[in-house]
Amino acid sequence: MATRYFVFRVNYDDAHNWVMDELFNKGILRQGWGILGLELVDINGECVKKEKWVSNYLSIWNDSEQKISGRFDILSRMLDIKKGDIIVIPKTLNNYTLTICEVSEEYHFDFKTKTSWDDFKHTIKIINPRSYRYDSFAEAKLIAAKFKAYQSPVNNIWNGETQNKIIELYKKEPSDKSKTIMRITEEISDEVLKSFSSRILGLDPSYFEDIISECLKSKGYEIIGMRKYDKKGADVDIIASYSLPFFSEKIDYLPTLLIQIKKKVGTDLNDEKGVDQLIKSSSDYPHPIKILVNTTDKFSDKARKKADENEIHIISGLKIFDLILKTELKNT
DSSP result, 26-46: H-EEEESS-STT--SB-TTSP
User: What is residue 249's predicted lDDT score, i.e. its pLDDT?
Assistant: 65
Host H or E run for residue 67: helix 65-75
pLDDT tens digits for 304-317? 888 888 888 888 76
Beta strands of the chain (E only): which ranges? Answer: 5-8, 28-31, 86-89, 97-109, 122-133, 154-157, 222-229, 235-241, 256-262, 289-294, 312-316
Kindly report the number of other CB atoms within 10 A of residue 119's CB atom: 21
Is the Cα torsion angle 135, 140, 144, 145 positive or negative in sign?
positive
What does pTM read for this prediction?
0.61
pLDDT tens, per residue, the chain with 332 residues: 799 999 999 988 778 889 999 999 999 999 999 999 999 999 999 999 999 999 999 998 888 889 999 999 999 999 999 999 999 999 998 889 999 999 999 999 999 988 877 899 999 999 999 999 999 999 999 999 999 999 999 999 999 999 999 999 999 999 765 445 555 556 666 677 677 777 777 778 888 888 888 888 888 888 988 888 877 777 888 999 887 776 666 666 677 889 888 877 766 777 788 888 888 888 778 788 898 888 887 778 888 888 888 888 888 766 777 777 777 665 54
The answer for residues whose C-beta is within 8 angstroms of residue 254's C-beta and 6 or more apart is: 241, 242, 243, 244, 248
pLDDT tens digits for 11-46? 887 788 899 999 999 999 999 999 999 999 999 999
Q: Which of 38, 70, 44 is nearest to 56 (CA)?
A: 38
Distance of CA 189 to the CA centre of its chain: 20
* Cα 102 to Cα 130: distance, rounded to the nearest angstrom: 10
Domains of the chain: 5-176 (3.10.590), 195-325 (3.40.1350.10)
User: What is residue 178's predicted lDDT score, i.e. its pLDDT?
Assistant: 45
The answer for residues whose C-beta is within 8 angstroms of residue 74's C-beta and 6 or more apart is: 152, 153, 154
Q: What's the maximum distance between 2 C-alpha atoms anywhere in the chain?
A: 66
* Cα 143 to Cα 98: distance, rounded to the nearest angstrom: 9
